[in-house]
Chains A and B, each alone.
Chain A
């Protein structure tokens, strides 16, 4: 087995060097406390293998949580959702390596804090983060769903006419928020709806394109993992 040195992986996979905070620099968690699901060893194994980078974007955020669309609790919920997603993706050997946090100030976000499906597309057309992670925009409310994403999304963030990221609202528990995140990013990585409510990609057994998900939607199959690993966003082992 490869040597799982924290310093080594931090340097070669994450581009950071000592002094290191495992929580901040290795997991990418910057908001409050969090009981991490994955052990450090598991996390290092995953992020040094086939992985993706994630680019969470807080739409309408203001630094210090003063006057913006997000509270500190919201930011911690998003962080917890990422941790849940990491656990779910670990089943199929896909790591979530780097977390690039960014935000759109209220003055620029305009009406994008409350969006429907069409506005979700406009949001991803008008904004992107300058990094190699999948853009995930968190808004105050997606009025006609919990989230939207394109299936097999583009790795060209400037591509016009389609969603170049996922758009989500923050759900009422860490688990649900994490499943929704894993589901929408799963779409972006090429996954269609499943026909099994216990699958992360939910139940669309009637084939109407509308997938139901609940708190039991926790599983991913080997085949789904292979699809995810073939997406252009996936990084090689480091």
Chain B
């Protein structure tokens, strides 16, 4: 027969321990209690017992143990809870994630096993913990675990593998973890200067008035960060006199037009505006709905004007633009990130 275990309202619980594990205290606070050794001993007995007590929040008890005692024994207790199907998903997931706070070797061994748990939340929490602490020893088990998981969880494990390799260059073995494991890639595009005839042809494909910009056909550039061709037209006045400070109201330096696939039709997609700033000028590339798509700066450097801007539109793959305007010639480089979208996804309604 098991020994009688302490209850949440019994005197064996110090006020600090009660406060740390009470089911009646909750909510909007950072839950990181640090308990004394005597309280930790009581807490370990409590958690090992697996007994449910309505006065005790076992998730809070798990967090209290992990924050207070980093040891092999605590690792075993947390791993046991994470693997125990009788515990709630909330408690199991928190236990798995808390193992990251345990001694590395013990934690890694426990998590390598838990990452193959049949409980999805435990797998997720274990993968997150492994990403923070694991050594190359975990790579093989992560590979094994990946084979049986859905793509989203595979990506979580890929982050763990990538982090391991980035922490341990020897384990990378010629791989680029970010590129290969997380599937990220970027491409650098140089803007291509168009000849005047091609520029004229493209300009003719634009039907709407282009905001009063008078394009310099000698200085139009094709810029393709994706499959759709964009053309940058600079205003004649900018090309002739590219000073940074042209009055307090700024200027329209040009526009970027987008060509519809398989047609000669172009539409103005972005307006390139330059605004005076104390240390040079700011550039804002504005969408037709008024949203800022790229923002950056112009600054004088070695007799040229350096251009630097970043994509700021929400929900898009990020693109950086770097370049310079020297002797009437613009060179631009676009660093385009791919396969890294952060789009807002609409949730699915639950029918009544």
Residues on A facing B (Cβ under 8 Å): 24-25, 30, 57-58, 60-61, 63, 69, 100-111, 113-114, 117, 125-130, 140-141, 143-149, 157-158, 160, 169-173, 176, 179-180, 183-184, 187, 193, 202, 210-215, 217
Contact = CB atoms under 8 A, between A and B. Distances in A.
Interface string B26-37: 111111100000
B124 A113 contact: yes
B90 A170 contact: yes
Interface stretch (B4-12, B152-160, B243-251): B152-160
A145 B27 contact: yes
A191 B72 CA distance: 43
A111 B352 contact: no
Q: Which of A111, A125, A171, A183 has the most CB of B within 10 A?
A: A111
Contacts of A217: 27
B30 A114 contact: no
Overall SS of chain B's interface: mixed
Nearest to B312: A160
Closest 9 pairs between A and B when the two form their complex, measured CB to CB: A110-B152, A213-B27, A102-B347, A101-B350, A210-B29, A146-B27, A114-B93, A141-B93, A141-B90
17 contacts: A58-B350, A69-B120, A104-B347, A105-B348, A110-B155, A113-B124, A114-B94, A114-B125, A141-B125, A145-B28, A146-B27, A148-B28, A158-B314, A193-B28, A213-B28, A214-B25, A214-B26
A168 B345 CA distance: 19
Interface of B: 22-32, 54, 57, 59, 63, 89-91, 93-94, 97-98, 120-121, 124-125, 127-128, 150-153, 155-156, 314-315, 342-350, 352
A143 to B, nearest CB: 5
Contacts of A127: 344-347
A184 B124 CA distance: 25
Contacts of A106: 120, 150
A140 B120 CA distance: 11
B347 A113 contact: no
Q: Which of B27, B54, B150, B350 has the most CB of A within 10 A?
A: B27
B127 A210 contact: no
Q: Which of B57, B125, B342, B348 has the most CB of A within 10 A?
A: B348
Given A141-B59, A141-B90, A110 B31 contact: no
B168 to A, nearest CB: 23
B156 A126 contact: no
Given A106-B120, A114-B125, A180-B27, A141 B346 contact: no
